């Protein structure tokens, strides 16, 4: 007796002899991507709420539930279709108490007419499916495929997508993460262009990201190099700095459309050449780095062609030299009398400990010599271990260090030398356990007692 009209038996190849639909023409992944795209705004809003809650922001609304009557229902349908498709492609498994032979109530394998007998051979009661075999003898491919992420228009692992790609024995490419920083008006520090860090980016090793931007770029994900423990570029050695700078200039040349950025790239190359050709470059390397950091920050905000012959270029460099000259010399620096030539500052001399010739840091600072300087907030009258300030002395700045168990600890976890910031330090900062010789107020390569930024 034929099955009733509302029975599933007879509708599909799994339970009867008449297929309900053509599964070969069903693009399940396309359906899944379409539903993911519909549901993406809700997921992004919920992710943003989660970040705001993690930042302890008040008045964050509850997450939006999935549209149960639409998206959730269709997801279940897609999952069921995918399982059905996989079973059909695999040939199915025998079911019920019967197989082969004559008619009866038991269900056979896919394409069987059903029967109550034993495990008889399959016969042509419906469509049959066989495992595909490659002519070259390759193993059959899996029928369960991973879902393609919604941001991809096509599968990058298909033959057509990779046929023009080749393996490079030496990878000199600049990873796109750095381009993303530039296009979001963020100046990438030169430490990101060192061979070690570039290799880390190419291999995607322990990368950290953060969301920034406004308007159309509000969801941009950019590298969070501070969370990745990248060294402050002010501490870079001269050889490493110059090598990274050559890569940086190549990076600048990649930002513009082909043939439209030559003037910008040439300006940066002239800028580097003018700096390293300056007679004071080696002796005042810290000042040149400070000048260059400020110039690059302006460039990525306003975009312009650099001209080292312009009076503003020379003026900005001189300002950086003056700023760094205000930094108190360490205790081992050569002392000079008012009549000594300026060249004596560049030739080491034995330190003379006469009190009358020693340069005292506070006397060169903009602060009165009798005040106690807080190396955390920059205010006078208290020390870092008792600082209760909620903001630095200079408006708009942020705290660079915190006092922790008798030490000054920077945001990146480095220990900062107290003696260097107050009186100058004769110890080698590279010695194990010794604090970094950087400003505790702003992180620059000068002491806090002479800092004008905070």
Strand locations in 342-444 (E): 401-404, 407-410, 415-416
CA-wise closest residue to 441 among 432, 450, 431, 433: 450
> Which are the contacts of 286, defined by CB distance < 8 A and separation ≥ 6?
234, 324, 445, 446
CA 197 to chain centre: 12
CA 275 to chain centre: 30
CA dist 421 and 100 (Å) reads 90
Q: What angle do CA 426, 285, 446 make, to 5 degrees?
A: 45
| Whether the predicted model's global pTM rises above the 0.75 cut | no
Instruction: Judge whether residue 244 has pLDDT over 60.
Output: yes
Instruction: Judge whether residue 362 has pLDDT over 80.
Output: no
pLDDT: is 305 or 355 the higher one?
A: 305
Structure confidence by residue, pLDDT tens digits, 58-83: 777 777 776 555 666 677 777 777 77
Going by pLDDT thresholds of 50, 70 and 90, the confidence category of residue 140 is: low
Structure confidence by residue, pLDDT tens digits, 268-308: 999 999 999 999 999 999 999 999 999 999 999 999 999 99
Structure confidence by residue, pLDDT tens digits, 195-205: 999 999 999 98
Percent over 70 (pLDDT), the chain: 67
Q: What is the DSSP letter of 436?
A: B
Q: What is the DSSP letter of 70?
A: I
Per the rule left: phi > 0, alpha: psi between -120 and 50, beta: everything else, 413 is left
Q: Where is average pLDDT lowest: 10-19, 188-197, 337-346, 382-391?
A: 337-346
CA-wise closest residue to 224 among 401, 414, 436, 411: 411
pLDDT: is 100 or 230 the higher one?
A: 230
Is the separation of the CB atoms in 448 and 439 below 8 Å? Answer: yes
Is the separation of the CB atoms in 268 and 246 below 8 Å? Answer: no
Instruction: Judge whether residue 368 has pLDDT over 80.
Output: no
H-type alpha helices, 91-232: 159-162, 176-183, 195-202
CA dist 199 and 205 (Å) reads 9
Instruction: Judge whether residue 338 has pLDDT over 90.
Output: no
H-type alpha helices, 176-284: 176-183, 195-202, 238-255, 262-277
CA dist 284 and 299 (Å) reads 23
CA-wise closest residue to 23 among 84, 79, 77, 78: 84
Q: How far is CA 135 from CA 24, 139, 144, in A?
A: 21, 10, 22
pLDDT of amino acid 214: 56
Instruction: Judge whether residue 178 has pLDDT over 60.
Output: yes
Percent over 90 (pLDDT), the chain: 26
The sign of the CA dihedral 60, 62, 63, 67 is negative
Of 4-18, 71-85, 434-448, which one has max mean pLDDT?
A: 434-448
CA dist 361 and 333 (Å) reads 12
Paired residues of 436 in beta bridges: 416
């Amino acid at each position: 007796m034929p099955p009733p009209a509302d029975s599933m038996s007879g509708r599909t190849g799994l339970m009867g002899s008449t297929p309900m639909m053509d599964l070969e023409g069903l693009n399940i992944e396309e359906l899944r991507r379409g539903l993911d795209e519909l549901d993406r705004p809700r997921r992004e809003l919920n992710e943003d709420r989660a970040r705001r809650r993690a930042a302890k922001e008040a008045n964050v609304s509850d997450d939006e539930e999935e549209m149960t009557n639409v998206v959730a229902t269709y997801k279940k349908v897609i999952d069921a279709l995918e399982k059905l498709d996989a079973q059909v492609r695999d040939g199915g498994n025998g079911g019920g108490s019967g197989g082969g032979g004559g008619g009866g109530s038991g269900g056979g394998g896919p394409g069987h007419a059903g029967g109550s007998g034993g495990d008889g051979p399959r016969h042509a009661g419906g469509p049959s499916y066989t495992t595909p075999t490659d002519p070259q003898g390759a193993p059959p491919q899996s029928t369960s495929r991973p879902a393609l992420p919604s941001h991809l228009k096509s599968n990058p692992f298909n033959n057509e997508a990779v046929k023009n790609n080749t393996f490079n024995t030496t990878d000199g490419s600049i990873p796109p993460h750095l381009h993303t920083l530039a296009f979001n008006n963020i100046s990438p520090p030169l430490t990101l262009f060192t061979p070690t860090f570039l290799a880390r980016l190419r291999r995607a090793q322990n990368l950290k990201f953060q969301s920034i931007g406004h308007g159309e770029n509000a969801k941009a994900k950019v590298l969070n190099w501070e969370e990745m423990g990248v060294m402050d570029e002010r501490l870079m050695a001269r050889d490493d700095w110059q090598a990274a700078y050559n890569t940086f200039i190549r990076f600048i040349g990649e930002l513009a459309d082909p043939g439209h950025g030559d003037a910008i790239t040439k300006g940066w190359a002239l800028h580097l050449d003018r700096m390293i050709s300056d007679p004071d470059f080696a002796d005042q390397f810290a000042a040149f780095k400070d000048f260059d950091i400020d110039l690059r920050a302006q460039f990525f905000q306003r975009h312009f062609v650099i001209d080292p012959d312009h009076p503003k270029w020379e003026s900005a460099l001189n300002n950086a030299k003056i700023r760094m000259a205000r930094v108190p010399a360490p205790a081992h620096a050569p002392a000079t009398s008012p009549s000594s030539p300026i060249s004596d500052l560049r030739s080491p001399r034995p330190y003379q400990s006469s009190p009358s010739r020693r340069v005292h840091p506070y006397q060169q600072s903009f602060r009165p010599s009798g005040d106690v300087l807080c190396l955390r907030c920059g205010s006078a009258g208290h020390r870092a271990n008792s600082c209760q300030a909620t903001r630095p002395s200079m408006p708009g700045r942020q705290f660079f260090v915190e006092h922790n168990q008798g030490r000054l600890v920077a945001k990146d976890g480095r220990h900062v030398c107290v003696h260097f910031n107050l009186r100058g330090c004769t110890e080698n900062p590279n010695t194990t356990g010794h604090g970094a010789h950087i400003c505790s107020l702003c992180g620059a390569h000068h002491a806090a007692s002479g800092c004008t930024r905070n």
